[in-house]
Structure 1
Amino acid sequence: MRSSRLRNIVNKKSLITVAGPMVRYSKLPFREVCRFYDVDIVYTPMILAREFVRNEVARYSDFTTNDKDTCVIVQVGVNNVEDFMKFVDMILPYVDGIGINCGCPIRDQVREGIGAALMSEPNLVANLIKTAKLKYGDKVFIDTKIRIHKDINETIDFVKIIQEAGTDMITVHGRTKTTRSSVPVNLEAIKTLRPHIKVPMIANGDCFTLDDYKRIVEYTKVDGVMSARGILANPALFKGFNKTPWSAVEKFMDLTTSYGLPFKISQHHVSQFLENMDVSKRTIKQLNDCKNMIEMIDLLDSQFILKRSNEIQFATAIDPQFR
């Protein structure tokens, strides 16, 4: 039972590290890179339940996995029980947990009753959880990822309702649905919620370094921390690297060429890594100007020593290996 792996982590590990869901970018190769740097739990991007259950093309494009892809939580955007249960039925054998998205602030999603719109629908969220638990019990592990309300008492009421419904974990992004990411995360709100949450609790927001992780845990007393923007740029941040190690580029390039990803997504990942290293803006611009994978590989080979997986000391270097 895959959910047992996840339960062992959240119930036995003193502090949990989580790579959060990122639209387009939390695909299989990147998830494996995160685990290379010992991230405990890695999320998929949000998948829309209504598309996934009705469209075979959407299923193949939205979700790929393999036997190394654990522990993985698939995040779902959903606004009704019927689609949710069809989604759970189809994907449960391939994941360790299901994450209900109650936090996405994108206007189109909110307009359709998905993401942050669910913060106004605690009874619907509770019904999603209860229905899945009634059918699968402990075979399904559910994380409910929420934002905070302007009135924290409303959030306290919300978490009580979803806990009663049976959620296994709660991840709290310390911003409201209208708070910009440029505004510091509200750690005080997360700290206020902590005594009211009896299941494992993860804090989300503004984790860009290991020091951030430690500071958030110390202040809020949560069980773990999720990073999204930070880990996108530096998948090794929980290992204490303040800059992305060169090993991340080598590991990612090996995985993305082995498993496959749309070129623009691969390009964005490598660009994000290089921007977090001591690499010139000129080189990063050249990389962003590449039109396909062959051009990008040629550019990297011309300016760096990019080891392949069959070479000695592959994916071990910390600093960029310039030619």
Structure 2
Amino acid sequence: MSSDPDASDAQLFADLPEPLVLSPSELIKTYHPNVLAPLVRCSKLPFRHLTSLYETHITHTPMILAEEFSRAQVARISDFSTSTEERGVFWMEPKVGRSTAIPTATNHTSHPEGDRTQAQAGPSRYYQSPSHTRLPPTPTAPTKHSQLIRGCLIAQFASPNPTSLADAAELISPYVDGLDLNCGCPQRWAYNEGIGCALLRKPELVRDMVRCVKDRMGWDWPVSIKIRVDPDLKLTDQLVRTALQANISHLTIHGRTRHQPSTDPVSLEGIKFAVECAKGEVPCVANGDLWELEDARRMREVTGVEGVMAARGLLANPALFAGYKVTPSHCISQFINLSLDYGLIFPLFHRHLAYMLESHLVRSEKVWFNSMTSTVGAVDWIASRGVDIKKERRTIWDARRGRNVVDQYQWKI
């Protein structure tokens, strides 16, 4: 392995083993993954790819309406896009007490109580990873226990009925590593449509939807649910226990109730209660008020979850999980390049940059930036502030700058 600073990627990373490809649940059980939440309109391909450069191991699509996705091609084109390069490759440490042996995923395709054999059930429907050129942040393992792991992409759907969810799962399955059922969207329109938080008190319907997907895709095809805690914790317990009967792969808990705004503090005790309801049968992920690495550490410690999920924290600082207090300049540069290469409509491009620049700009600069109406104008203005997006960048898949290096950039305010 070359130590020449001018060596090519091929020379520096020539001795890397193939990254291990795991299902989301196996990744959560074996390691301590960081997760990007399914952000409304915001967790599109360029932003998912960006966060995967900075130690975000599992990413989600925005919430997709299963009925529209399954019936209309225009909805599928609008709601979902992906690339072979968007999942990250990471050096990860197995949990304390877990074996350092390489874990393997099971590959059943039928209900374990069914009478069909593997051959009768047909070929596996598991997603098969295509070739990619993603690199980990460093060419050498940080410790002797580090393992090279490929990240996961999960599609989140909202559906009021089992059939539409199963149809959507079958359509999107070649491109993702699993499906998440939204049982937590608190918006009034969603509740009125019978999706999101409307499912929190319909455990039998949630069970039927999960089973319908698994009957279509195979009993071990990953299907998770994302919930909010209920003011009546007995109902949370009932929902979790019923979902376990349907063989969910993992559980994500947002620590607020349906009626609580994001300004209310998240209930770590509520998350802990839901984790205890799962009784260790599936791994759990916690969501809510995660703004820096210390919040992630505390959330794991207090609630007992295996994974932590960030939403607004990653919008403000996509490099949060790499240890940065604020968005570093190379993250801004990477986002601009990814957005231009993939293609991202200006309103979303502008919104993401506004979130990332929030902590760097004074009020008058924020007002000026928010008044911009074109991608070219926004890029030129950011370049005038000192971000050199035209500098030689080797490849936009480069994660080497994302491993908590000291950011030398100083904002010109």
Question: Do they superpose with TM above 0.5?
Answer: yes
Q: 2:375 aligns with which of 269, 272, 293?
A: 293
Q: 2:228 aligns with which of 122, 129, 147?
A: 147
More helix by share: 1
Q: 2:78 aligns with which of 57, 61, 64?
A: 61
C-alpha contact (below 8 Å) 2:25/2:250 kept by paired residues: no
| Secondary structure at 2:218 match in 1 | helix
Q: 1:98 aligns with which of 171, 179, 182?
A: 179
2:192 is aligned to 111
2:30 is aligned to 12
Please give the residue correspondences for 1:32-43 in structure 2 after superposition, counting only pairs within 5 Å. Answer: 32-43=49-60
Instruction: Give the stretch that moved more between structures: 19-28 or 298-307.
Output: 298-307
User: Deviations along 1:247-302, whole A, 9 cap, x unmatched?
Assistant: 110010000000011101000111111113x3333322222111111111111122
Deviation at 1:17, TM superposition (A): 0.8
User: Deviations along 1:93-147, whole A, 9 cap, x unmatched?
Assistant: 1111101000000100100101000001111110111112223225521110001
Deviation at 1:55, TM superposition (A): 1.7
Please give the residue correspondences for 1:172-321 in structure 2 after superposition, counting only pairs within 5 Å. Answer: 172-197=253-278, 198-276=281-359, 278-308=360-390, 310-311=392-393, 316=401, 317=407, 319-320=409-410
**Structure with greater contact order relative to length (CA < 8 Å, sep ≥ 6):** 2
Instruction: Give the stretch that moved more between structures: 307-316 or 196-205.
Output: 307-316
The amino acid of 1:204's aligned partner reads: N
CA distance in 2, matches of 1:60, 1:313: 27
- The verdict on how the C-alpha distance between 1:153 and 1:267 changes in structure 2, with shifts beyond 3 A counting, is same
User: Deviations along 1:44-93, whole A, 9 cap, x unmatched?
Assistant: 10000111112211111110101123311111010101111110110011
User: Deviations along 1:168-224, whole A, 9 cap, x unmatched?
Assistant: 000001111111111111111111222221201011111111111111111111111
Q: Detail structure 1 runs of 4+ shifted over 3 Å in the superposition.
A: 2-5, 311-323
CA distance in 1, matches of 2:221, 2:390: 38
C-alpha contact (below 8 Å) 1:102/1:145 kept by paired residues: yes
- The verdict on how the C-alpha distance between 1:212 and 1:318 changes in structure 2, with shifts beyond 3 A counting, is farther
User: Deviations along 1:6-28, whole A, 9 cap, x unmatched?
Assistant: 34412321x12111011110000
C-alpha contact (below 8 Å) 2:25/2:283 kept by paired residues: no
- The verdict on how the C-alpha distance between 1:143 and 1:320 changes in structure 2, with shifts beyond 3 A counting, is farther
Instruction: Give the stretch that moved more between structures: 279-288 or 33-42.
Output: 279-288
Structure 2 unaligned segments of length 5 or more: list them. 1-19, 88-151, 402-406
| Secondary structure at 1:45 match in 2 | coil
1:24 is aligned to 41
| Secondary structure at 1:120 match in 2 | coil
CA distance in 2, matches of 1:220, 1:319: 37
The amino acid of 2:84's aligned partner reads: D
Instruction: Give the stretch that moved more between structures: 304-313 or 122-131.
Output: 304-313
TM-score (norm 1): 0.94
Q: 2:248 aligns with which of 163, 167, 171?
A: 167
- The verdict on how the C-alpha distance between 1:295 and 1:150 changes in structure 2, with shifts beyond 3 A counting, is same
The amino acid of 1:280's aligned partner reads: V
| Secondary structure at 2:234 match in 1 | helix
C-alpha contact (below 8 Å) 1:105/1:178 kept by paired residues: yes
C-alpha contact (below 8 Å) 1:3/1:97 kept by paired residues: no
CA distance in 1, matches of 2:310, 2:21: 22
TM-score (norm 2): 0.74
Number of aligned residues:
320
- The verdict on how the C-alpha distance between 1:318 and 1:64 changes in structure 2, with shifts beyond 3 A counting, is farther
C-alpha contact (below 8 Å) 1:245/1:320 kept by paired residues: no
Query: Which structure's CA Rg is the greater one?
Result: 2
Give the fraction of aligned pairs with identical amino acids, expressed as a percent.
36
C-alpha contact (below 8 Å) 2:63/2:158 kept by paired residues: yes
CA distance in 2, matches of 1:320, 1:144: 42
C-alpha contact (below 8 Å) 1:216/1:225 kept by paired residues: yes
Across the aligned residues of Structure 1 and Structure 2, the Cα RMSD in angstroms comes to 2.0
